[in-house]
Structure 1
Amino acid sequence: MAEPVELWWARRQWSKSLEVPYPVGCYRSDWERYPVLVRQYHPDLNSGITLTQVPPAAEVYLVWQCDAGHRFVATPDEQRQRPGQSRRRSTWCPECAAGATKRRAPSPSRSLAPVRPRSPAASARVARATPGAGEVGQAFVSSLAPKPASAAEGELRHRLAERLDLHFGLNAVRVARPFFTRHEVWPDIVLAELRVAIEYDTTGRDGLEHVGRREESDRRKDRLLRAAGWEVVRIRCGKLRPIGPFDISAPGISAKTIDRLVEKLGQIRGALIVECYRRTDGGG
């Protein structure tokens, strides 16, 4: 059960027989992935204890302050799980999130409109397969797939195409179970010949991407791909840690990153197989 930070710290001092049970910087690498939370945390509001002295899984109530000045109490786990489906910075603060929800409330005329019950057939269509997608594990072009989220994804695709003579025109893979209501997932890069999906992950400008619940979503997406006979390579930038056996930690897109990526592809499908696709026209 969570307890106030003063009691939690005193209990750790007693159990470890140390004046400072967790030295400053002890958990820095764990919190570096959450720049918004680092900014929200203030030692002066938490008995002088720094965030790097708090284990991410600690059952302790901490005081946080958002950029708007709202102060609130939450455990480390509650804060790390807040982003959810939203990309807004307000999701890290319950008061800001509540205000945003009120602003999006429907008009009275719409809220009072009668709601027609959904038929069983309509309910079944919510988690429908995309027409023409084919068998589970098949790669295809989906009109629903979003456009590349960053220029870095385009650069990654271009540099990899210079090395390997693969088809880069597909953007979706059919999966057996629904992923957010669709039987398809949309990797950043789809390598159908090797049955490998490549993802380029950063925390984004506001530190909301690929952390907390979004990381759990990434893991579920990877499990669906592997269940369909695919493998996943995630290039994890900044302070994001690898979440899969073939993930790469890198500061960004570079020749070294591409070298490591091609090496990973060889580990997954065999170096000789990957070598068959290597360009010999001076591209790599």
Structure 2
Amino acid sequence: MPESVEQWWARRQWSKGVAVPYPIGSYRTDWERYPVLIRQYHPDLNHGITLTQVPPAADVFLVWECDSGHRFVATPEEQRSRPGGTRRRSAWCPQCAEAAAPRPVRMPEPDAGVHSCGHARDLRRIENDPHDDRCYLCRRLDRESLTREQLVTMAAPGSRVAVSADNGTATKHSWQCDAGHPSYQASIERILGGKRCPICRHARGGADAVAVGDAFVSRWAPVPASAAEPELKRRLAERLDLDLGMNAVRVAKPFHSHLEVWPDILLRELKVAIEYDTTGRHGLEHVGPREASDRRKDRLLRSAGWEVVRVRCGKLQPIGPYDVSAGAVNDGLVDRILSRLGEIRGDLFVAAYLR
């Protein structure tokens, strides 16, 4: 159970038998990848203990202060996992995050309750049909020729499979399609009418046309996040006679509702993906949960026969065997990447593609 910073420090002093159990700078490498947290932490609010004296895994309550002056208490683990799925700077402060995206207030239905069939009432979605008094969902099930038993067979292992809720509220479940793709927290309405599996729907847009491990041009791929990525791609094109026009690789398992991943640069002939990683404007990119996502992306690429070279900028630490640290895109960085390519595929093989 987390304890106050004073209690935690006193306990560590007693267990280690020294006045300073963690010297200043002990955990500088672990914290320097989080520039926003360094700015939010103040030793005068935490018993005079600096952030570099706090292990990232310590179960201790620390006091933080955001740029707007909000003070709040959180453990190191809570702060390092704070960015979540948003790219707003307010994500680092719970008060700022709540003000930036307030919770919607849902008004009760004018005729809230449960139909005789057990499905929740929703007057906004009931179709006018004088010859059919069934609820909207029952008519949808009949039109799509999906029975309750068929829906149950689509449920993912270990998930809730009840079609309706006893309290009359909307119920969400974990489902899987015929291909075995999970679709977590999908309501019944979303899995009907061809919208059952977002992974299959996205794959039909391109990934289904290629084999696992093949590179292709995907319409789902995002645009470059910064000007550094196109510049690095241009410099590599000047040195290597390769086709750099592909932007996606087909993988065997879903990655964020897609059967494809989108590295920054793809060297198709060498089967090497190059990623350019920075913490971004607000220190949200490639840290915390997003670093875990990067690791999973790399595992999917390696399982498909590819290797990954990540250019880690700023204070980001390498997460793969061939990652390189850099501060800017220049000829020196390109030389280091070419050296990594030689380690991965062999110098003679890479030399055959040099201009």
TM-score tier by shorter-chain length is over 0.9
SS of the equivalent of 1:244 reads coil
> What is the percentage of aligned positions where both structures have the same residue?
66
Deviations 1:118-139 (A, max 9, x none): 3357454311224343111110
Deviations 1:54-80 (A, max 9, x none): 111111110111112111111101100
Deviations 1:88-113 (A, max 9, x none): 1111111211222217x378699985
- Whether contact under 8 Å (1:130, 1:182) holds in the other structure is no
Q: What is the TM-score with the length of structure 2 in the denominator?
A: 0.74
Q: In the TM superposition, what is the alpha-carbon distance from 1:176 to its structure 2 partner? A: 1.0
The answer as to 2:205 corresponding to 1:131 is yes
- Whether contact under 8 Å (1:83, 1:212) holds in the other structure is yes
**Equivalent of residue 278 in structure 2, options 202, 208, 223:** 202
Matches within 5 A, 1:35-74: 35-74=35-74
Amino acid at match of 2:74: A
The answer as to 2:194 corresponding to 1:118 is no
Deviations 1:195-246 (A, max 9, x none): 1110000001211110001111111111111111111100000100000111
> Cα gap change, 1:238/1:130 in structure 2, threshold over 3 Å: closer, same or farther?
farther
SS of the equivalent of 2:101 reads helix
**Equivalent of residue 319 in structure 2, options 243, 253, 272:** 243
Which gives a bigger RCO, structure 1 or 2 (Cα 8 Å, sep 6+)?
1
**Equivalent of residue 227 in structure 1, options 267, 291, 303:** 303
> Comparing 131-140 with 147-156, which one deviates more in the overlay?
131-140
Q: What is the TM-score with the length of structure 1 in the denominator?
A: 0.92
Which residues of structure 2 form unaligned runs of 5+? 110-121, 126-169, 171-187
Matches within 5 A, 1:3-82: 3-82=3-82
> Cα gap change, 1:220/1:130 in structure 2, threshold over 3 Å: closer, same or farther?
farther
> Cα gap change, 1:150/1:96 in structure 2, threshold over 3 Å: closer, same or farther?
same
> Comparing 192-201 with 119-128, which one deviates more in the overlay?
119-128
- The structure with the largest alpha-carbon Rg is 2
Which residues of structure 1 form unaligned runs of 5+? 280-284
- Whether contact under 8 Å (1:130, 1:183) holds in the other structure is no
- Whether contact under 8 Å (2:206, 2:218) holds in the other structure is no
Q: In the TM superposition, what is the alpha-carbon distance from 1:247 to its structure 2 partner? A: 0.6
**Equivalent of residue 178 in structure 1, options 247, 254, 261:** 254
**Equivalent of residue 269 in structure 2, options 193, 214, 217:** 193
2 CA distance for matches of 1:243 and 1:208?
17
Amino acid at match of 1:16: K
Aligned residues: 278
